[in-house]
Chains A and B, each alone.
Chain A
Amino acid sequence: MSSGTLYDKVWDRHKVTTLPNGQDQLFVGLHLIHEVTSPQAFGMLRERDIEVARPDLTLATVDHIVPTADQSRPYSDDAAENMMSELEENVRDAGIEFLDPPSGEQGIVHVVGPEQGITQPGKTIVCGDSHTSTHGAFGALAFGIGTSQIRDVLATQTIAMEKQQVRKIQVDGELGEGVEAKDIILEIIRRLGTEGGVGYVYEYAGEAIENLDMEGRMSICNMSIEGGARAGYVNPDETTYEWMQETDFFREHPEKFEELKPYWESIRSDEDAEYDDVVHIDASELDPVVTWGTTPGQGIGIHDPIPAPEDLPEDKQDTARRAQEHMRVEPGESMEGYDVDVAFLGSCTNARLPDLRRAARIVEGRQVHDDVRAMVVPGSQRVQRQAEEEGLKDVFEAAGFDWRNAGCSMCLGMNEDQLEGDEACASSSNRNFVGRQGSKDGRTVLMNPRMVAAAAITGEVSDVRDLEEVQVA
């Protein structure tokens, strides 16, 4: 059993009681909702005639189905319009704040929470979305929940959970040129497996993590779930506090910052905290990582050979064989030179301002390859605005990228942004499952945003370090 970790401390502070079923009942500090997973929960509440307990601790946005091109209402897709109006009605009835497109604050739920300053250290945060783990970057305890649990939270502002084990992932060393947070997490998942984290919460620590900006930490915590861990976190530090201070909320309420900071400090893992497991990773050894298969654990360094299924553990062989057939890759080859048809720069993993800035430096003065359709989908309207002000939009458009409005977009292909047929996509998102990007024959190669930029330019999976970086203002 772990003790003295952030996880233990935040858990204890939020524990209401132990339920007769043996689970702990935890108070939820922030409940984020979006249009896909919430309507059924509101429906269940209505069936039972129960009101939303704490609308003041609930925040809604729309991201999955929102069109990223023409956003005029009603949406051209009836199902999307239907979901949107259902959400509008639910939040209006319950008195929940809604960051919708006209507010100028809409975006992917895991991008807007931190932007609004409501994702804070030491909070328990839940959302009916598995990538809620993203918010752990701030030292929050954040996890995705199912619809019945959303119902629980709406009805009681609490959730029933069992305590999990804590694995510390110590990432030491300095990242090399062109290697990013995304590569760290892809490497962690490759090494520990997509089920490696089941039953665990991941604490990311070490020099390489501390040196990351908040966006990088979010990219890592975001994909905890791809590694099987329902939550992942980084202890809050000066980098975290600086972010908090810069948000509108704490600019307007500097006294709140002073008031809360001691609490944030107090929930950091103790020096002598005990962990159930510790794993070491040397960041300096990493190359940019790309996936060759159809699970996020099937990753390799850009120059490494794709493994032969028979060299993998027995329970992974079958999946690997099917994945290689689907992706049409051969063991022994590397992914370098793999033809791509689409480049997608977006998602809650990698569509924040620094991601777009880095990618823009690669595409500046270059042209998207003739055979590639490339798009940038900013993570939020705020990111979009800032990127436009900085001139990033112009850089991308000049290079031939399509510049879209904020949303989940081709990360899961629930709106009109989808792969067609067997198109191969260089994607900065988090999942390469078969059918994930809207076409069941589509092929997804996950990679960091600069690598996506490089693939857009060359038309194939490429080592971004071979492209000379151009400086953008």
Chain B
Amino acid sequence: MNTRNEFIEVIAPGPLTSVQDRGRHGWRHLGIARSGALDPELAALANHLVGNRDDDAVLELSLHGPSLRLPRPSRIALLGASVDARFEGTVLPMARPIDLPAGTLKLGGVRNGVRAWLAIAGGFEVAPVLGSRSTDLRGGFGGHQGRALQAGDRLPLGSAPSLRIDSPQIARWWVDPDFDEDPHLPIRYLPVANPALADSAAALARQPWSVAAASNRQGLRLDGAPLPAVGGSGVSEPVAPGTIQLPADGRPIVLLADAQTVGGYARLGHVIAADLPRLAQAPPHARLRFEACDAPAAIAALRHRRERMARLRLALASRLPHTR
């Protein structure tokens, strides 16, 4: 095993790179958001590829990745949207374990999506806060100092089996977790049954929407012909990642992992869990369509995604002897 107290140094942070795990549970009654990777299944799979536990901390990067100095030979894996990744001149592919010597890992532009997750053997061993290593960007705690990475940050690495290599070793195989998923399919949502809101909820599916540039990890803002404003009671109710809010301007907001815990806007329904990861990959100005579905369809879609992940892991078992 490697000795502890080794740090990855952040040379350039990228526009929004943060430490995330599967999120923070058990504190929502105190106004504390879930946070966590916007695609927890992919973050877990990235961990799996490098021999980590599913809930170890990874880096989530957005639009452009960071440059990082690795203090020791390390096994890494990148999943999510395609990242232009290089190590000392070698181009690195996605979605597989890669063993790197100590040196500089440069993650550049992201294509075919917005976000990707970098796992490293041993995990990013920042101190857990309220049971999670995820960064709560709005609350300013958790992850690395409660904020996105900055140049000069030093991220502690957990212990991992030592590697003795002097050049990158790239697995010849890769995983394709979304191989049978059409990224252009509509985003499915469960509309509310409330008769006062049913018309607006149904209208969401009748026109295309474009992703507003002001979107972030808290919520995806939609631009399009405004939906008829609905006079909600204005009394705040709990909300959740996936909640579709309709503010007075008629432009819906789909809440994501950093969503606040309560909200007073009218609620049109929720995007199903299986389709939330696709929202996390929608770049500014992307066109989105929505499609109403029912609860059994939501459950079936999530089960389908889980089963696909489980099959992937079964297939990986023979290739990954070192998983802990």
A and B form one complex: no
